[in-house]
Amino acid sequence: MFRIAKNLVRTFEQSVQDTLALSQDSSNLDAFFQSIPPNLLSAQLESPVDAVSEGVKHTNVNETLSGLRIVWVDEMQFQLQSFFDYIVGFNDDPVPVVSNQHGFSYPDYRRITSIFNEHCGRTLKVNIWSAKGGTFRDEYISIISKESDDLDDVSLNHDERRPSSGEAHQFQALGFKVQWTPLIASTFTYHILNVNIPDGPAQSAGLIPDEDYIIGCQDGLLATGGETLLQDIVRSRANYDLVLYVYNKVSDCVRPITVHIGPDGRLGCNVGYGFLHRIPTVKHCPQQAQQQGQDDNPVPVPVPVESETAFVPSAFTAPPVPTKKKSKNKKGTQPLAMDDYFNEGRDKSSTAAKSAESDILAPPPQKQSSSD
């Protein structure tokens, strides 16, 4: 019975994905990526075709579509955000890439350095895709020429993993670091739906239901994604502390939290994973524009996003609404019946069976979630 329910949820989620893709008149590209101008993706979208024509089997384009992900920003760099932002173009041209024999694209750092060198003393238009709702924007970054008497830092330890870009930087440090990463990696997030263990690890650490999303954990253990990955990591950290990085959609900020996992290996909250639980678009209040005009150092004040539209990126609000309404209508009847079903099963089981069942950490199907 439970397996059937879980399969139903997966079918439902897949149908949402398919509907969204079809509604955008693009058969393959994930709706989350369709805010990116097609010309910025052309170089990457062409290479898999070439690879296929050579008889090499290629994976889904949504899994390989990549950008220069911001992995670190300086304290004084306010234009970019780590984790969420990807550079997908310069001056409305794609990131220069080269393809290997398997059809996979990699950034041409030599040409990228040339672009920055050419813009010394000017601003460079950088095309950014953000994982917050899958939105696209432009940032104008000032490229400051390096003074002639500036000396480059040369590491005494030769590190094979960090080769030079092949061309001397004629500009000062930009205040951010990047790594070529698939865009899909930023969708591996776990939405806190509710706290189910009073005074449990989640509640003690201050996780906020509906508002919070776990986007990563110490050492990047969540980087590969997967519906059960968080659950597996938490279970493996029983009796230990675990550092999680949490995004709050109301305050539009990321904070680190430390949770102490008990001997049962549970986080104490239900989490949602998948298309419906990606980071939503940030919505600012109308007063922000006025505030920016009056204040030299404005702090935008995000407005709480209603849960009805929270998971729907702004670029495609229309298609999912009917689907969402259906699930809302079901909420009053079907889930209660399912809860009764599960509770009935628990009451009849033996004590040993109960403890074994509690380790399963099964997701309640009506919310497309998993329990940790």
Partner 1 sequence: EVDRVMLNKWRQWNVDMTTWRSIGSGPIME
The verdict on 173 binding partner 1 (CB under 8 A) reads yes
Residues in the chain: 372
Query: With respect to partner 1, which residue has the nearer C-beta, 222 or 361?
Result: 222
Identity of the amino acid at 368:
Q
Question: Residue 185 has what DSSP assignment?
Answer: G
Q: How far is the CB of 77 from partner 1 (least distance, A)?
A: 8
d(CA 161, CA 158): 9
Q: How far is the CB of 333 from partner 1 (least distance, A)?
A: 31
Query: With respect to partner 1, which residue has the nearer C-beta, 81 or 270?
Result: 81
The verdict on 158 binding partner 1 (CB under 8 A) reads no
CA distances from 70 to 90, 100, 216 (A): 15, 23, 15
φ, ψ for residue 336 (rounded to 5)?
A: -60, -40
The verdict on 131 binding partner 1 (CB under 8 A) reads no
Number of residues that bind partner 1 (CB under 8 A): 48
The verdict on 176 binding partner 1 (CB under 8 A) reads yes
* CB 259 within 8 Å of CB 241: yes
Label residues 27-49 b or e (16+ Cβ within 10 Å = b): eebbbbbbbbeeebbebbbebbe
Within 296-315, the residues that bind partner 1 by CB under 8 A are: 299
Within 255-284, the residues that bind partner 1 by CB under 8 A are: 255-256
The site string for partner 1 over 219-258 (x = CB under 8 A, - otherwise) reads xxx-xx--------------------x--x-xxxxxxx--
Query: With respect to partner 1, which residue has the nearer C-beta, 9 or 68?
Result: 68
Burial class of residue 259, CB neighbours in 10 A (0-12, 13-18, 19+): buried
Which tokens in the block code for residue 361?
């950490």
Query: With respect to partner 1, which residue has the nearer C-beta, 25 or 153?
Result: 153
Stretch that binds partner 1, among 72-80, 132-140, 275-283, 341-349 (CB under 8 A): 72-80
Query: With respect to partner 1, which residue has the nearer C-beta, 9 or 183?
Result: 183
Other CB atoms within 10 Å distance of the CB of residue 102: 12
Q: How far is the CB of 102 from partner 1 (least distance, A)?
A: 12
* CB 223 within 8 Å of CB 216: yes
Query: With respect to partner 1, which residue has the nearer C-beta, 85 or 366?
Result: 85
Which uninterrupted H or E stretch holds 241? strand 241-248
The verdict on 83 binding partner 1 (CB under 8 A) reads yes
The verdict on 106 binding partner 1 (CB under 8 A) reads yes
Angle 315-318-321 (CA atoms, 0-180°, nearest 5)? 125
Distance of CA 331 to the CA centre of its chain: 27
The verdict on 317 binding partner 1 (CB under 8 A) reads no
The verdict on 178 binding partner 1 (CB under 8 A) reads yes
The verdict on 120 binding partner 1 (CB under 8 A) reads no
d(CA 314, CA 280): 8
Binding site for partner 1 (CB under 8 A): 66, 68-69, 71-73, 75, 78, 81-83, 106-107, 109, 161-163, 165, 173-174, 176-182, 185, 206, 208, 211, 215-216, 219-221, 223-224, 245, 248, 250-256, 299
